[in-house]
Amino acid sequence: MEGNSTSDIVILTGNSHPELADLIANRLGVRKGGCSVYHKTNRETVVEIADSIRGKNIYIVQTGTKDVNNNIMELLIMAYACKTSSARSIVGVIPYLPYSKQCKMRKRGSIVTKLLAKMMCKSGLSHIITMDLHQKEIQGFYDCPVDNLRASPFLLQYIQESIPDYRNSVIVARNPGSAKKATSYAERLRLAIAVIHGEQKEAESDEVDGRYSPPCIPSVDRSRTMDVSVGVPVHPAKEKPPINVVGDVGGRIAIMVDDMIDDVQSFVAAAEVLKECGAYKIYVLATHGLLSSDAPTLIEDSPIDEVVVTNTVPHELQKMKCNKIKTIDISVLLSEAIRRIHNKESMSYLFKNVTLED
């Protein structure tokens, strides 16, 4: 950050990912601000900021992990503490936005992402930096600017530099919903695409939705054509076909791409089908490696050769259990975003040649 003052930048971090905060601070050439975040005996979250932050630009690094609810409360309390301490601006650096998959109405549930957006803005956050939102429309829930950075350039570089004979690869969409992302990767790498159709378990888009609940209509004689005036016709149930691959993967390297890897059972099932169809090597690339439950064991015992994720979410324990998990450091992207925001520079360079489907 030559030629620009960094004296009014303060990097604060909660307990979710201090290692990433250290990497960002080192790249920016600033030290982390003194901030203690801990839990009392009754599990209440306490935030104590050691240094004066009056008139400073605060950047709070906090991501979503398995302890998601504590991560959120820490972030909200830290932001509110900065707000009441007269900070000039408070930017939330949230590489993986929690609850981002709950961005659609499900029966009698709620859109939790919208609630979280309101809470963040109310707590004092004036800007959000995040990466690869589950749905890009989530940005519209916020009353403050949201910069949705992309990890695809790092993943594309990994494919080109670390996968031998990547020209003999095919980009695989794990389900039809991932086809846009897979197409974007395939076009940039000049590779073919394959789509896995049919799943062993229900896709997110097929979950029960209250809009499709059957109406209460009188019994009618099905032997005649139903008149429109009888009522709303019953919505036919979906029947998912057996899992199969649309596209040629025989004798090629299969590269599955997605925005996150959480429950890996669907990835393992897809990998088994790809292996049966003749793929001789299988890679899985994603931005967020949540790797919940027994994911490391399942990956280790599966036909998957390598799982490549970024360090938006800490997963060191999972890597100790599974040698197939590789990590790409994206702290350089987050630190550059902070630098540009602080110096009031354009962010468009970070999105250059990156489409919305990435």
- Three-state SS annotation for the chain: CCCCCCCCEEEEECCCCHHHHHHHHHHHCCCECCEEEEECCCCCEEEEECCCCCCCEEEEECCCCCCHHHHHHHHHHHHHHHHHCCCCEEEEEECCCCCCCCCCCCCCCCCHHHHHHHHHHHHCCCEEEEECCCCHHHHHHCCCCEEEECCHHHHHHHHHHHCCCHHHEEEEECCHHHHHHHHHHHHHHCCEEEEEECCCCCCHHHCCCHHHCCCCCCCCCCCCCCCHHHCCCCCCCCCCCCCEEECCCCCCEEEEEEEEECCCHHHHHHHHHHHHCCCCEEEEEEEEECCCCCHHHHHHCCCCCEEEEEECCCCHHHHHHCCCEEEECCHHHHHHHHHHHHCCCCCHHHHCCCCCCC
Residue 69, domain member (yes or no): yes
Res. 1: pLDDT tops 70: no
Q: What is the mean pLDDT of residues 309-338?
A: 95
Res. 19: pLDDT tops 90: yes
Tell me: do 135 and 14 sit in the same domain. Answer: yes
Give the pTM: 0.86
Q: How confident is the model at residue 272 (pLDDT cuts 50, 70, 90)?
A: very high
**pLDDT, tens digit, for every residue of 118-151?**
999 999 999 999 999 999 999 999 999 999 999 9
Res. 239: pLDDT tops 70: yes
Tell me: do 24 and 133 sit in the same domain. Answer: yes
Domain range for 168 is: 153-199+243-329
Q: How confident is the model at residue 311 (pLDDT cuts 50, 70, 90)?
A: very high
Residue 211, domain member (yes or no): no
Which residues, listed in sequence order, are joined to residue 197 by a DSSP beta bridge?
Answer: 244
Residue 38, domain CATH: 3.40.50.2020
Tell me: do 190 and 102 sit in the same domain. Answer: no
Tell me: do 174 and 318 sit in the same domain. Answer: yes
User: What pLDDT, on a 0 to 100 scale, did the predictor assign at position 356?
Assistant: 39
User: What pLDDT, on a 0 to 100 scale, did the predictor assign at position 276?
Assistant: 94
User: What pLDDT, on a 0 to 100 scale, did the predictor assign at position 61?
Assistant: 98
Better-scored residue on pLDDT, 135 or 219? 135
Residue 212, domain member (yes or no): no
Q: Please count the structural domains in the chain.
A: 2
d(Cα 199, Cα 48) in Å, to the nearest integer? Answer: 48
Q: How confident is the model at residue 200 (pLDDT cuts 50, 70, 90)?
A: low
Q: What is the mean pLDDT of residues 278-285?
A: 96
User: What pLDDT, on a 0 to 100 scale, did the predictor assign at position 203?
Assistant: 47
Tell me: do 57 and 132 sit in the same domain. Answer: yes
